[in-house]
Amino acid sequence: MNMKNLVLVFIAILMVSCGSNSTTGKYEKTITDYLLKGSDTKENLNFKILELNEHGTVTAADSINYLTDEFRKDKQLIIDRVALAKKMSEDLRSKTKNQSSIDKYTADIAVMDNRIDSLKNLSPDNLRGYDKMNKDDILAVIVRCHYSLQLPGASSPVEETFDFYMSPDGTKCYGKTRAK
């Protein structure tokens, strides 16, 4: 073997060994384990990752924004329901002639007004734990993975692309969503 071929073989070995320790390598194993847990082996399903790349991150600030937005949506839904009940009580009060019924509806309306005011001033209570975090802390890495697998009995492989939400170190998969 001449020197040129020896250098090429050495470079190829170096590239393979460095490539197997890359970040995509750690994602490959975690995603494969996540997708195939409790099923056939990788070889039986002819599972192949065709493309894999980091597609973004989820920071503490992103998570706080998401949770705050969800809290606002849920709170608004409750406010809307209480406002609807208040409107119904007002309508019933306007149609009744009985003073005791008018007094009851008026009291109910006052209670609903207080509830609506309380809800409007309510702060998110689902942010425990974030107060000690830096807003730029990375909570998850989004990894887009395009893969194929052969389902038992299928005539051809199925290809899918999903975004996987991984721990920053790549050892855990929190979930996946179909890539858009």
pLDDT at residue number 38: 66
Q: Which of 125, 164, 118 is nearest to 144 (CA)?
A: 164
pLDDT at residue number 23: 57
Q: What is the pTM of this model?
A: 0.65
**Burial category of 164 from C-beta neighbours within 10 Å (exposed 0-12, middle 13-18, buried 19 and up):** buried
pLDDT at residue number 64: 93
pLDDT at residue number 118: 94
Q: What share of the chain is helix, strand, coil (3-state, %, to 5)?
A: 50, 20, 25
pLDDT at residue number 41: 62
CA geometry: angle at 165 spanning 163 and 171, to 5°? Answer: 125
Q: Which of 138, 137, 130, 132 is nearest to 168 (CA)?
A: 138
Alpha-carbon span 86 to 88, nearest angstrom: 5
In DSSP terms, 144 is beta-bridged to 53, 163
Do 138 and 61 form a contact (C-beta atoms < 8 A)? Answer: no
Low-confidence ranges of the chain (pLDDT < 50): 2-21
